[in-house]
Every structure is written in C-alpha cells, then in structure tokens.
Chain A
Amino acid sequence: MAEEDALKKQADLVRRLKQEKASSEEIAEQVAKLLEMKAVLSPEEGKHKFVLKTPKGTRDYSPKQMAIREKVFTIIIDCFKRHGAETIDTPVFELKETLTGKYGEDSKLIYDLKDQGGELLSLRYDLTVPFARYLAMNKITNIKRYHIAKVYRRDNPAMTRGRYREFYQCDFDIAGQYDAMIPDAECLKIVHEILSALQIGDFCIKVNDRRILDGMFAVCGVPDSKFRTICSTVDKLDKMSWEDVKSEMVGEKGLAPEIADSIGEYVKLHGGLSLIEQLLQDPKLSQNKLAKEGLGEMKQLFEYLALFGISDQTSFDLSLARGLDYYTGVIYEAVLLQQPKE
C-alpha cells in the first residue's frame, strides 16, 4: 500500500510540474522516476524500453573496450610489481560509519544503501579510507600495496564531459616509517614510469609541499584562518590568470591587496634544484621554520629524483595547492602538456 501511495504522490508531482511549466529536464527526471515506480509495481506494463540502459553515470564495457582496458591495466600493474608492491582487495561497500566524516562536503555524494533492517552501508567513495581501515583493523605498520578497483560518487555528470559515477581508481601507497623522501621519490618514479609506458604524450609532474605553502602564506601575512580558502583560490591558477585569481582573493575572500601581491611573487615560481636553493636563501622564507623544513626536504627529494633519472619531467611548482585536507607533506600532480585534439 505504501508503494501505491508513493506512486500516486509521484504522479501528482509530475502533473503539477507540467502545469507549472517546470524545466523540461526536471519533468523528464520525475517522469522517469514515475515509470520506474510503475515498472516495479506492475512489471508487465511496457517496462522494456525503460530498463534497457545502465544507470545514470555508469556504462558497460564492450569486448573492444575491455581489450584496451586490460592492456592499460597490464602496463600499470607491471610497473607496480616492478617496484615490489603487493595487492589487496576490500568490499565494494563499507559500514556507513566508516565513511562518515572523512570527505567533508563531498559526503553528500556518497551512495548509501537502503536500510533493509541490517547494518547501514555505503558504497566506497575512494580507496584510501578502505586502505586506512584495512591497516587499522589488521594492525599493519608497513606495507607497499596497489589496489585497482571501482569507486562510486553521486556526482552530477556534466552532459558534455561524460563524467561517470562509477569509475576505476588505481592506487599505490607506501605505509610505514622510513627515512625522509626516499619512498616519496619512488612514488614519483612510478608515476613517471607509468605515464611514459602508456605513451599518452608529454607530461609534467608538478611537486609542492604543504609545509612550504603554509610557510609562504604565513610570511606573506595571510591570517591563519584564511589559509585553506586562499589555498583553494591559488589552486585555480592552472585554469585562471593571476589577475583573476588575485581578484578572487581580494574581492571574494577579503585578503588585503598587498598580501595578495606577496603571494603572487611566490606562486608564479617553478623550477628545479636551483629554485629550491634560491628559496632557501630567501630572506622572508628562511625565517619560517615550516617553510625551511619543507624546502630542506624538497631539496633532498629533487636530489633523489635526479638519481632516479626523472628531473626533466618534474617541476617544483609553488602554485600547486590541491586537495590539502589530509596531506601533510609533499603533494604532486601530473599534467599532460599537450591537450588532445577534439
């Protein structure tokens, strides 16, 4: 009975939306939902066309796509194995409480399972939290593992870009206490090896460090409370010009223009060991303990990258500021240098 009531309510909603001349997208969405509910209640009535598709944001892989995918995964896994990694697997869903509070605002994008009288469950959102849960549950202090699996996010797929709600992640992590920067350097070597082997074109790996960023903000006079919000603006430098970024900092985030200018002097810098040396001598930065620590380790890192033969494709880039929530030290991001032709 409850289902029939819900069906009636849905039908009323559709009628009302049409009367109010709501957007065609919204009407289509609610009509689809109505058809769905009808299909569940009375299976015979023309549900055929309706169910012949994959859920929104997901797709099938044809044999040809699978062949390509398998080839790509083989290249990636070969590299992980060449570096001595083991692999693990975790369930597709976790207890809802395991995922709660880990993703900030993104939590609204998590797929929850229906309460069917048992535990409350959610589909995994990434592979990092399950990894942390695995380590904690099994009291593991050292492991080098890769994990290739699908994750789930209820993103609103932009129609043109074909973004998916179910998609693969290929993660590699080294957990354990080791001497500074050696495992970090190996991670970058792995990124380099994989991107080279996949032959997708020229790329550059941008490297920065949270301590350097925070130190830089401090010496420029950014108030502590604004660190993160300014970070997110700085992060847009890869898509917007400095003028626009400065404008956002001053106009939207209430930063004094002089402070913004100071930041501007730093974040436009990128280079290699010589830049790091230069910054270590910088009169302001060298006074900041955090920045000095970060720069000292960055120097160490770049020396290792030279030994690993990958200096050419790495760049110490002060404008890199991404996803700082749980990062505590070095951060990096690889970008393709040439956009593929449309």
Chain B
Amino acid sequence: MHWIKLMFPKTSCRRQHLPIWQVCTQRAFSSHLPNQVTDGRVDQPSPQAEAAAEPEGLILRLPKGTRDFSPKQMAIRENIFSTIVSCFKRHGAETIDTPVFELKALLSDNWGEDSKLTYDLKDQEGELLSLRYDLTVPFARYLATNKVLKLKRYQIAKVYRRDQIITTKGRYREFYQCDFDIAGKYDPMIPDAECLKIMHEILSALKIGDFLIRINDRRILDGIFTTCGLPETKIKTVCSSLDKLGKITWKEVKNEMVNEKGICPEVADRIGEYVQLHGGVCLMEKLVQDPKLSQNKQAMEGLADMKLLFEYLTLFDIVDKISLDLSLARGLDYYTGVIYEAVLLHQQGDHFKESLDVGSIAGGGRYDGLVTSLNPKWGEVPCVGISIGVERIFTVLERNTGSWETLRTTETQVLVAAAQPNFLAERMKLITKLWDAGIKAEMFYKKNPKMLKQLHYCEERGIPLVAILGQEEMNNGVVKLREVSSREETCVPKEKIIEEINKRLGK
C-alpha cells in the first residue's frame, strides 16, 4: 500500500525522525483508460520496480518558474476569474480554446525577437512544435483556419515564456492570460472603445486599487519618428528603448538610443520633445496643430482616430482614467493602430505615482494585419483586443491575506455525524438522501468517529450545519440539526430533514 512512497521512494525516508507515512489512494476515474498502443507492456518491469531502482538523491521539485496552486489559491483564483468572465459575458463574448502547443513555424514568425523565449518541444520525429507564447497568435490562426470574418471572443488559458523569473512581481514562466478580442471590419474606434471600457470595468471590479490606462497609437508614433528623421529600420529598436521610459529617465533612454542603438543625438532630442508628453484631449489638439507633425499623413490619421476614441471614452464614462502617453510603445510587432496599457498607482503625498513593483496589469491594442499575414487569400480581418495580466493581479491580491482568510476551499453545507459508535449505516443512508436531493454533504470515513473531531472539522472548513444521528434520535424518529456558528441544536423529524436543511441554507 505504500503507493506514493513507491513512486517517490527517497522522499519520505530522507530524515530519520520522519515517520514513513502510508498513503492509500483510490481512483474514481482511472488515468489508465484503454490505452491504444500498449498491450505489449505487460512483460515490462512495473513502474514500482523501476521507481525503486532510481538513483539516490531524487529531489522533488517543480520546473523553474512554475508553481502548483493549492486549494486556497485555487479558490482565490476562481473568484478572480469569475469576476473577469462575468464582465466578458456582459459584453456578449463567446469563448474558444486552442491547443497548448502550435507548429513552431507559426509562432517563430510572429513573435520576432521574443521567439528566443519560447519553449520548444523536442524533435521526436514528428512536427516541430512550440508551447504557445500568447493567445493572440493562436486566435489569429483560429480565425484564418476556420475562415471566420467576425468574432468577439474571450480565452483564459496558460501561456509559456522562458523569461526572467520574478515571483514577487508575479512573473512566472507558466502563467495565465485573460484575453478578449473583437475581430471584424467595423466603424472606426467603436470596438476599440468597448475594449477599453471592459478593461476599466474589470480592473475596477477586482478592487486592486487605483489605476491608469495609458494609450497611444502606432501611427502617431511612426509619424513622430519620421518627422524627427529616424530611419525606418531603427523604429523597432527605438520603440523597445522608449518602452523603458517609465522605469528609467529620459536621459538614460536617450543614452541607450545614441550609444547602443546608433541614433543621431539631434534625432534623439527631437523624439524626446514629443515622447515626454502626456495628457488628455488638449494634448491632442496641440499635436494636431503642431507644424511638423501635421505634415505627416500617418500621424494625422492616428490623431484623428485618437480624437474619436476620446469622444467615445467620454460617452462610456471612463475618460478620467485615460491618458494619452506618447512614450507608450508596447513590445509586439503586430500592433497597427491604438495601443494601451494599464498600470497601478499608489498614493504618494498629494498625487498618485505609478506603482513600479508589478509593472503593467493589462494591455492590448489593434492589430489589423495579423490574420492576413497568416492567410493572405482570405482578406483582411482587423482585430482589436485586451489582455488582463491576471498573474500580477493575483500577486497583488494575494498580499491582502486578510480578505481571503474566510474564503472556503470547499462548498460543503452539511456534515453527517454520529454521536455514538455503530452508526455508519445510518449515516450512509442519510447522506445518500442529502446527495440525491442536491445537498452538499460529507461524512467521516470512519466506522466510529469522535464527535469532537467531527465538530472541529466543521469549524475548520466553514461547514454551516451538522446532522447528528444517535440512539435517542433513532428512537424518536428525528435527526438533530446543529448550527455550527451558534451551536444551537434542533430536533427535526426524519421526513422533514431535507426541507429544514434547505430552509436553513436559504434556498
């Protein structure tokens, strides 16, 4: 019966004073469903034998940058997801799911420089595969594969990046993304505005504190660069330097641009004049009047759409949290229009400052060319979307441990208990009635459990009711119903027990 010990033989014996614990495990659903390949395996040594033969010093650990979720963490996570999904559904989104890996050729093409951070699968004489890096490229592939022209979808799933691990900031290598995207040709800026409205709704509902949504537009940025005399080939690399502007000063950014990226200092200065600007509608008016920028067709296009967007955001009543920020550049290559990023703020004296510890907590933008690049014959499917950085939110929220202390990990409503020995059969009969009536109930897996232990269990787990059986109760044809919080006990006639329980549970 030393099943787990047989699987990992060196663990429980590592230190002398630890008892060798025996663990019995039963399966309700076997992982060993009829296996397609393997009738030939019977003559192989059993896994137990092989495990016992494993080398000394087998350490049990998780891969770097990954983690298990305990029941408590799952309860918190489920809480957060349900808030997010309610919001997506409130806005009419459907959901899809895609495989955890994609063909390597698909991914390596669309993530550019970042593709050195992908997890590749070993070449095992099949297709070359990589674990998905985000949910956007799979989404575009889904649209192209299924020839879909319009779709409003959300997808919540884990993605994989061999990135630098900073667990205190919620930066793991396996982490959840919550994406919402609108694909399809529509009138300008309306879906974009709705995306921002959703981002605002979610971040507000999650109660993580004050936040700010910075927005910009690729066309405005490109227009600025061109106006400042930046060669097109340097745009990408300058964007990545600019992106650091929140974390380092302009001086340091300029330094990087000039000394590491070979940008002419005058060009850098000109760029600097623009990208340090942020504000609202007035900033936009000012830029439209700017003598140099107004010559640039792209920039003007971007600014016109930005003006429209601000009008819509005002109608959606979220404009107070929005800031046009010309330094926002965002990493990914495939953005073609508006881009945005939400950051947490914390109060420092009179004003709010960006909370640098977790970085951005949501982001997104418009990417009109991605689907076409995958299937040029199919025509354009413009897309705009958001991605909620739920791991970072999780990290922030987990810190407020106080609010999660009462969060239960189970939903059990009734513990079926016995006051005396030899009541197993009666407990089983009663609990069957409860289960069949849809009531969530548990009982101890002991023939003769102790009353005190059963009551403690209820307190630990937050179970509100106990249904107690005993000789006296049997004789009188009743079940004693105890409220755990008040410790009040009532005798309920057997036939009425379900009705009474439902009443107490407020159904």
Contact = CB atoms under 8 A, between A and B. Distances in A.
Interface of A: 32-33, 36-37, 39-40, 43, 47-48, 50-56, 58-63, 66, 69-70, 81-95, 97-98, 100-106, 109, 111-116, 118-119, 121, 123, 126-129, 132-138, 141, 145, 150-152, 154-156, 158, 163, 166, 169-179, 182-191, 193, 228-229, 231-232, 304, 307-309, 322-323, 325-326, 328-330, 333
B379 interface: no
Contact of B69 (A89, A169, A187, A325): A89
A323 B360 CA distance: 49
A116 B119 contact: yes
Contact of A95 (B3, B38, B61, B120): B61
B153 interface: yes
A114 B11 CA distance: 28
Interface in B1-36: 1, 3-4, 6-8, 11-12, 21-32, 34-36
Interface string B116-128: 0001111110111
A138 B21 CA distance: 13
B446 interface: yes
Contacts of A322: 30, 32, 34
Contacts of B42: 228-229, 231-232
Nearest to B145: A52
Interface in B28-53: 28-32, 34-48, 50-51, 53
Nearest to A230: B42
Instruction: Across the A-B interface, give the 6 residue pairs with the lowest CB-CB distance, nearest first.
Output: A323-B32, A178-B445, A86-B71, A63-B94, A126-B31, A105-B41
B432 A89 contact: no
A140 to B, nearest CB: 9
Interface string B74-91: 100000000000000000
A47 B122 contact: no
Residue of A51, A137, A309 with highest tally of chain B CB at under 10 A: A51
B469 to A, nearest CB: 13
A47 to B, nearest CB: 6
A48 B375 contact: yes
Nearest to A186: B445
Contacts of B127: 32-33, 36, 55-56
18 contacts: A40-B104, A54-B98, A55-B127, A63-B94, A83-B441, A91-B63, A94-B62, A98-B60, A102-B47, A104-B47, A105-B40, A114-B121, A132-B7, A136-B60, A163-B36, A188-B28, A228-B43, A309-B432
A47 B109 contact: yes
Residue of B31, B37, B48, B124 with highest tally of chain A CB at under 10 A: B31
A166 B98 CA distance: 10
A326 B144 contact: no
Nearest to B138: A60
Given A60-B97, A309-B432, A328-B1, A187 B27 contact: yes
B428 A307 contact: yes
A60 B103 contact: no
A149 B103 CA distance: 21
B63 A175 contact: no
Given A40-B105, A58-B99, A330-B26, A137 B61 contact: yes
A124 to B, nearest CB: 10
A174 B3 CA distance: 13
A172 B71 contact: no
A31 B39 CA distance: 31
Interface of B: 1, 3-4, 6-8, 11-12, 21-32, 34-48, 50-51, 53-54, 58, 60-64, 66-71, 74, 94-106, 108-109, 119-124, 126-129, 131, 141-142, 144-146, 153, 158, 160, 162, 174, 374-377, 409-412, 424-425, 428-429, 432, 435-436, 438-442, 445-447
Contact of B74 (A69, A88, A123): A88
B119 A113 contact: yes
Contact of A127 (B22, B31, B103, B124): B31
A106 to B, nearest CB: 6
A55 B428 contact: no
Given A109-B37, A119-B64, A132 B71 contact: no
Contacts of A61: 96-98
Nearest to A58: B99
A60 B99 contact: yes
A308 B103 CA distance: 49
A169 B128 contact: no
Contact of A92 (B100, B162, B377): B100
Given A92-B174, A114-B121, A193-B435, A62 B37 contact: no
A134 B61 CA distance: 9
A197 B305 CA distance: 52
A150 B31 CA distance: 12
Contact of B144 (A32, A52, A154, A174): A52
Contacts of A51: 103, 105-106, 109, 141, 374
Given A91-B62, A179-B446, A81 B440 contact: yes
Contacts of B141: 51-52
Given A86-B71, A175-B25, 17 more contacts: A40-B128, A43-B109, A51-B103, A60-B145, A82-B441, A88-B70, A91-B68, A121-B119, A126-B32, A128-B31, A136-B4, A138-B70, A185-B428, A229-B43, A308-B432, A309-B432, A325-B46
B37 A106 contact: yes
Contact of A132 (B8, B70, B95, B439): B8
Contacts of A48: 374-377
B25 A323 contact: no
A328 B25 CA distance: 9
A82 B54 CA distance: 40
Given A158-B36, A232-B42, A309-B432, A133 B28 contact: no
B41 A106 contact: yes
Nearest to B101: A55
Given A55-B101, A104-B46, A133 B410 contact: no
B95 A232 contact: no
Residue of A155, A307, A330 with highest tally of chain B CB at under 10 A: A307
